[in-house]
Amino acid sequence: KDLDSEEVETATEFLRTLLDGMDIDAEVTVREPETAADGEGRASAVLDIEGDDLGLLIGRRGTTLAALQYMVNVMLTRKMDSRAIVTVDVEHYHRRREETLQGLAERMADRVSNSGRPMTLEPMPASERRIIHIALAEDEDVVTGSVGEGDERKVVIRPRGSGGDDRYNR
């Protein structure tokens, strides 16, 4: 669902209020999602936070950033009765993380292709697993899938045609 201007303004003001409450001096701008990391195809808008020394807002592996995004989306659902989803980003963290994950996907796919053995990646959130799946979707040598539950869910990369169905539990 697309955000209307009132929803964008409400989400932006809510995020600014959260930042002010944390005594963080930063600018919030709104843009369209452009990549899988931005939530392209799922999110209606990206709220970019920019300023000095904002690593605290990202947190370890993006956990603080994910919590901020969750709060903004819960507020939109409850206050505005909106089904729209926004992505909250800090200094293009999502884009940098996407590039890192794409590189990891390519390196691991090469290892799997060369060794003929499946590889299981570390647990990661659904949004990051999605980036891995998309990065390798067109790879002719490997197939990806996800295994595990909740916070322990991981991507498995295995050689295509290595037994069983090439469609995997995504």
Complete DSSP assignment for 8-71: HHHHHHHHHHHHHHTT--EEEEEE---STTTTTTT-SEEEEEEESS-HHHH-GGGHHHHHHHHH
Mean pLDDT throughout 95-113?
96
* pLDDT above 80 (res 71): yes
Mean pLDDT throughout 74-85?
88
35, 92, 113, 120, 136 from 107: Cα distances, Å: 21, 23, 10, 13, 11
Residue 169 pLDDT class (50, 70, 90 cuts): very low
End-to-end CA distance of the chain: 24
* pLDDT above 90 (res 165): no
Residue 1 pLDDT class (50, 70, 90 cuts): low
Mean pLDDT throughout 48-58?
92
- Residues ≥6 apart with Cβ < 8 Å to 157: 105, 108, 109, 112, 118, 119, 120, 121, 132, 136, 142, 143, 144
Mean pLDDT throughout 52-81?
91
Residue 3 pLDDT class (50, 70, 90 cuts): low
Instruction: Report pLDDT for 6.
Output: 87
Q: What's the pTM value of the predicted model, to 2 decimals?
A: 0.78
Fold of the domain built from segment(s) 98-159:
Ribosomal Protein S8; Chain: A, domain 1 (3.30.1370)
Radius of gyration of the chain (CA): 18
* pLDDT above 50 (res 11): yes
Domain boundaries along the sequence of the chain: 5-91, 98-159
Say yes or no: domain 5-91 is CATH 3.40.50.10490. Answer: no
- Rounded-to-integer distance, Cα 136 and Cα 131, Å: 9
Q: What is the DSSP string of 72-87?
A: HHHHHHHHH-----EE
Mean pLDDT throughout 136-148?
97
Mean pLDDT throughout 44-49?
93
